[in-house]
């Protein structure tokens, strides 16, 4: 099996906040990430598919097709948006890196038909990222 990864980038703002907690509790749980008007990140998104390269093409899937899929279904919808308010598929989701990885997986998984989706990694900063493998 070979693992094939496409990396994409997007910029977005978010606020980590759960309305079922008090303001004080939110600040205790999320720290600066709970400040009322949100803040931005330069996100990186890594999508990995796994499979056996086709005998004739040498490819698991066309990376251009994978890039187009990620762009159309995710990046175009989250780039330069406020994740808490502007993105339909994130309504009611606390936009942590963990939850973004989960939601992006659910969107992409059914669309990967050559090979299979192996992992979705969401980097919120170069040091902090979440990975979901289904
Ligand atoms: Ni943040």
Q: What is the pLDDT of residues 26-80, one digit of tens each?
A: 999 999 999 999 999 999 999 999 999 999 999 999 999 999 999 999 999 999 9
Residue 40, pLDDT score? 97
Residue 76, pLDDT score? 98
Residue 65, pLDDT score? 96
Across the range 1-22, mean pLDDT stands at: 97
What CATH number does the domain located at 2-132 have?
3.30.479.10
112-130 as b/e: b if 16+ CB within 10 A: beebebbbbbbbbeeeebb
For ligand 1, the distance from its centroid to the CA atom of residue 87, given in whole angstroms, is: 16
For ligand 1, the distance from its centroid to the CA atom of residue 32, given in whole angstroms, is: 8
For ligand 1, the distance from its centroid to the CA atom of residue 14, given in whole angstroms, is: 6
For ligand 1, the distance from its centroid to the CA atom of residue 117, given in whole angstroms, is: 26
Residue 96, pLDDT score? 98
Sequence spans of domains, the chain? 2-132
Q: Which residues are catalytic?
A: 33, 80, 124
The CA distance from 128 to 17, in Å, is: 18
For residue 44, what are the CA distances in angstroms to 98, 111, 118? 13, 20, 17
For ligand 1, the distance from its centroid to the CA atom of residue 90, given in whole angstroms, is: 15
Question: What tokens appear for 109 in the block?
Answer: 């998984």
Residue 1, pLDDT score? 94
Using one digit for the tens of pLDDT, what is the confidence trace for 75-127?
Answer: 999 999 999 999 999 999 999 999 999 999 999 999 999 899 999 999 999 99
| 83 SS3 class | coil
Range list of H helices, the chain: 23-30, 63-70, 76-78, 97-108
Residue 124, pLDDT score? 97
């Amino acid at each position: 099996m070979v693992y094939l990864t496409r990396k994409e980038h997007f910029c977005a703002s978010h606020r980590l906040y759960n309305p079922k907690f008090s303001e004080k509790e939110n600040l205790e749980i999320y720290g600066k990430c709970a400040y009322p008007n949100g803040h931005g990140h330069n996100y990186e998104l890594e999508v990995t598919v796994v499979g056996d390269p086709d005998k004739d093409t040498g490819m698991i899937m066309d990376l251009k097709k994978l890039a187009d899929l990620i762009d159309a279904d995710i990046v175009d919808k989250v780039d330069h948006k406020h994740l808490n308010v502007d993105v339909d598929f994130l309504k009611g989701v606390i936009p942590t890196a963990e939850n973004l990885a989960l939601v992006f997986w659910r969107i992409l998984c059914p669309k990967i038909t050559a090979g299979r989706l192996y992992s979705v990694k969401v980097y919120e900063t170069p040091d902090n990222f979440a990975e979901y493998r289904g």
